Amino acid sequence: MTKKIIYALAAVAVIAVAVFFISKKNGNVADEQTACATDSIIYTAPKDTIKKYGFPIEEFIIKYDTIKPRETLAEVLFGFGFSAQQIHDLTQCPDSIFDERKIRPGEACALLCDRDSAARYFVYETSPKSYVTFDIANGFSAARFEKPTEWKTTEVAGRVNSSLWVAMQESNTSPQLAVLMSHIFGWSIDFFGIQKGDEFRLIYSQEHVEETPLNNYRIEAASFCASGNTVYAIPFVQENEELFYNIDGNSLEGAFLKAPLDFYRISSKFSNSRYHPVLKRYRAHHGVDYAAPKGTPVYAIGSGKVIKKAYQAGGAGYYIKIRHNSTYTTSYMHLSGFAKGLKEGDFVKQKQVIGYVGSTGLSTGPHLDFRVYENGKPINPLTIKSQPKKPISEANKAAFTVIKDSLVNRLTNIPFAVAETPVQEEETGQEIEQL
């Protein structure tokens, strides 16, 4: 019996020693039930990653997660090991700092733990440029922080071979810049009629956060050569307003836009006798049809008052009329819907979204029927004249000239990003239907 007891005690001792060394090697199992222990990978973040949250790398272990579709904040926090009470405390943060109802799929969050695996901070990135930090040790007190941003400048030149959009891609830059260019040159260049061989040169800046590029751009200067005619866009601040001017010091912004939407093609022009695709007969078409996908934003070509917002069955469908002054009125027809909150009597600004392309009323497909009336009579929208805004004043001409000469020189010397494609003589007059 004594030997059995001794053997039993020895066995217990061996097991105890084994458990001790296993625990020492693998860590305490109970510790894995803390908020820092989840199924996600736990690792020490790179130094730059820690810096963006303002915490020293040597003091924390960082766990990252991303909001998944239809996932709630509570589910994310449960995954991090938070209790129901902790989740409640965190969500009591003022909406002005953090509104849990506005979380979106793809947004990032992180849990910062100390070396003992105790959760210290929860960080939620509300945007690529801002985040909210919750101090877990101090009652989930929250503070919002902005990340430092940097604008990096790039110069690029390109030639149109198929479309302006493609030309941007071929020049190794973002096609979004094509939209910005249309906004700048929209009063002086008809982007629906650009030709193969037309050229552009750009000086632009792109916003970066911690060396990560964002989809935020601004054009510093530009030129566009259409059919051999080069138009420059030179920024200058006058009377506390920055506008783009041509080399003569006249504003590129006019009273009216060249077109009420971006890009896309003209499917039907102004005519006194056009064959109607629905009625199957010839009749007047006193407008310009822009073919575009359903939902494409439609802009007011100029500032003015909304005098009509209605629906006409068997005709214009959903449409809007805007009176710009005592002379000009514009009409936007076959819309799929109106801009939220827009009503008759509202004053709208130039380039403001007023509705969206559709196919309502008497229509065979998505398009915008755009019409212009001068003193009550329809005129061809493509021939409307637009007076520019105030030019460079005499007092500012010297300063403008210095800036203009510098930027024009920079633009002129930007090399093309891709090899030039020879333009065949018979193709030089071919219109590009879609930007």
As a whole number, the mean pLDDT across the chain is 80
Confidence (pLDDT) at 273? 55
Q: What is the per-residue pLDDT across 4-51, written as a single tens digit (0 to 9) for each?
A: 544 554 554 444 444 444 444 343 333 333 344 333 333 344 444 445
Structure-block tokens of residue 426:
């018979």
Structure-block tokens of residue 358:
């559709």
Spatial distance between the Cα atoms of 415 and 105, rounded to a whole number of angstroms: 41
pLDDT grade, residue 431 (50/70/90)? Answer: very low
Within 13 Å and on the Cβ side, how many CA atoms surround 373? 13
Kindly tell me if the per-residue pLDDT of 127 is higher than 80: yes
Which H/E stretch holds residue 63? strand 61-66
> What is the CATH code for 150-254+396-427?
3.10.450.350
Length of the chain equals: 435
Q: Are 90 and 107 in contact (CB under 8 A)?
A: no
CA 6 → CA 3, 10, 127, 203, 414, distances in Å? 5, 6, 67, 87, 91
Confidence (pLDDT) at 54? 79
Report the CATH architecture of 265-383: Distorted Sandwich (2.70)
Spatial distance between the Cα atoms of 413 and 201, rounded to a whole number of angstroms: 9
Confidence (pLDDT) at 24? 40
Instruction: Give the residue extent of every domain in the chain.
Output: 34-146, 150-254+396-427, 265-383
Q: Phi first, then psi: what are they for 87, rounded to 5°?
A: -65, -45
pLDDT grade, residue 192 (50/70/90)? Answer: low
Q: What is the per-residue pLDDT across 375-397, written as a single tens digit (0 to 9) for each?
A: 888 998 887 766 667 899 999 99
> What is the CATH code for 34-146?
3.10.450.350
* Nearest in space to 233 (alpha carbons), one of 258, 201, 256, 262: 201
- Pick 130 or 265 by higher pLDDT: 130
Q: Are 34-146 and 150-254+396-427 the same fold in CATH?
A: yes
Q: Using the 8-state DSSP alphabet, how is residue 252 labeled?
A: S
Average pLDDT, integer, range 289-304: 92
* Nearest in space to 257 (alpha carbons), one of 348, 385, 431, 433: 385
Confidence (pLDDT) at 424? 46
Taking the model in full, what pTM does it have? 0.58
Kindly tell me if the per-residue pLDDT of 239 is higher than 70: yes
> What three-state secondary structure class fits 395?
helix
Q: Which of 133-137, 189-193, 257-261, 391-395 has the highest mean pLDDT?
A: 391-395
Average pLDDT, integer, range 322-341: 92
Q: Are 400 and 249 in contact (CB under 8 A)?
A: yes
pLDDT grade, residue 68 (50/70/90)? Answer: very high
Confidence (pLDDT) at 331? 96
Spatial distance between the Cα atoms of 366 and 289, rounded to a whole number of angstroms: 10
